[in-house]
Amino acid sequence: MTEYKLQYFNMMGHAEPARLIFAYAGVQYEDERVEKSAWPKTKPTTPHGQLPVLYVDGKPLSQSRVIERYLAKAFGLAGENDWEMAKMDELVACVEDFLIEIHPWFKEQDNAKKVEIFKKLIDSTIIPFITAFETILVTNGTGYFVGDKISFADLAIFHIFWFMNSKILPGALRKYPKLLEFVDKIAAIDTIKSWINSRPKTEA
């Protein structure tokens, strides 16, 4: 049996979609959480001085989206063909672009500046992002973003909208019924629900 270890900080962050993949697939793994105080010592042991790192039978694999894609292929969450896989990669790349755009807001420590950044992001980035993904979901018409069954892209997208609706802008999806229905549907899957209820409680 393959042994997996996922190494990341004690937060959801870039490792959470991979954790959701493990949870959905019902595959056991070691969820190693590195405290910030231990990072200087741990950093030189990682392939590129970054986390997360997935260890597969002791062999390291870095970069969060690469890890997600690898696990998706291993657990049957990578679509039916190359086209579906490419569309999944496309959507996950859009999520990554969105996270890069809102990163200054997460990073800012000054509350006044944080508010100003957020005001600009609402109209320029956040609302267009939500609207675009609502449209994609409506257009596909299956309740999933690619094809007619759940994929690793759905889990990555679920995480960002769950986090947005729960942490950043509570209730933000009320005006986007298909997205809200999607988030509620994924959150209600037994293995996902169990993980959400049992995972360490962190702010990000």
CATH 3.40.120.10 assigned to domain 4-76+192-198? The reply is no
26-32: Cβ within 8 A, 24+ apart? 26/191, 27/75, 28/4, 29/4, 29/5, 30/3, 30/4, 30/5, 30/6, 31/6, 32/5, 32/6, 32/7, 32/8
Q: Which two tokens stand for residue 31?
A: 């969820």
% residues pLDDT > 90 (the chain): 92
Using the predicted structure, report yes or no on whether residue 169 has a pLDDT greater than 90.
no
- The pLDDT of residue 199: 97
Using the predicted structure, report yes or no on whether residue 78 has a pLDDT greater than 90.
yes
The arithmetic mean of pLDDT across residues 54-82, rounded, is 98
For the entire predicted model, the pTM comes to 0.95
CA-CA distance, 37 to 121, in Å (whole number)?
Answer: 32
Q: At which residue do the structure tokens 């996902």 appear?
A: 192
Residues paired with 31 in a beta bridge: 6
CA-CA distance, 33 to 31, in Å (whole number)?
Answer: 6
Using the predicted structure, report yes or no on whether residue 187 has a pLDDT greater than 90.
yes
Q: Which two tokens stand for residue 81?
A: 């063909």
Q: Which two tokens stand for residue 17?
A: 């979609």
- The pLDDT of residue 184: 97
- The pLDDT of residue 178: 96
- The pLDDT of residue 62: 98
The arithmetic mean of pLDDT across residues 67-91, rounded, is 97
Model pLDDT for residues 17-48, shown as the tens digit of each residue = 999 999 999 999 999 999 999 999 999 999 99
Q: Angle formed by the axes of helices 16-25 and 152-163, to 10°?
A: 120
- The confidence band for 163, taking pLDDT boundaries of 50, 70 and 90, is very high
Model pLDDT for residues 95-104, shown as the tens digit of each residue = 999 999 999 9
Using the predicted structure, report yes or no on whether residue 167 has a pLDDT greater than 90.
no
Model pLDDT for residues 103-157, shown as the tens digit of each residue = 999 889 898 999 999 999 999 999 999 999 999 999 999 999 999 999 999 999 9
The amino acid at residue 180 is L
CATH 1.20.1050.10 assigned to domain 82-188? The reply is yes
DSSP 8-state secondary structure symbol assigned to residue 54: E
The amino acid at residue 149 is K
- Asked if 34 contacts 7 with a C-beta cutoff of 8 angstroms, the reply is yes
- The confidence band for 8, taking pLDDT boundaries of 50, 70 and 90, is very high
CB atoms under 10 Å from CB of 202, counted, come to: 12
Q: What are phi and psi of 22, to 5 degrees?
A: -60, -45
- The confidence band for 172, taking pLDDT boundaries of 50, 70 and 90, is confident
Outline where the chain has alpha helix (H).
16-25, 39-42, 64-75, 82-107, 111-121, 127-140, 152-163, 177-188, 190-198
Q: How far is CA 12 from CA 20, 68, 102, 149, 153, in A?
A: 10, 14, 16, 25, 17
Domain coordinates in residue numbering, the chain: 4-76+192-198, 82-188
Question: Are 4-76+192-198 and 82-188 the same fold in CATH?
Answer: no
- The pLDDT of residue 171: 87
Using the predicted structure, report yes or no on whether residue 200 has a pLDDT greater than 90.
yes
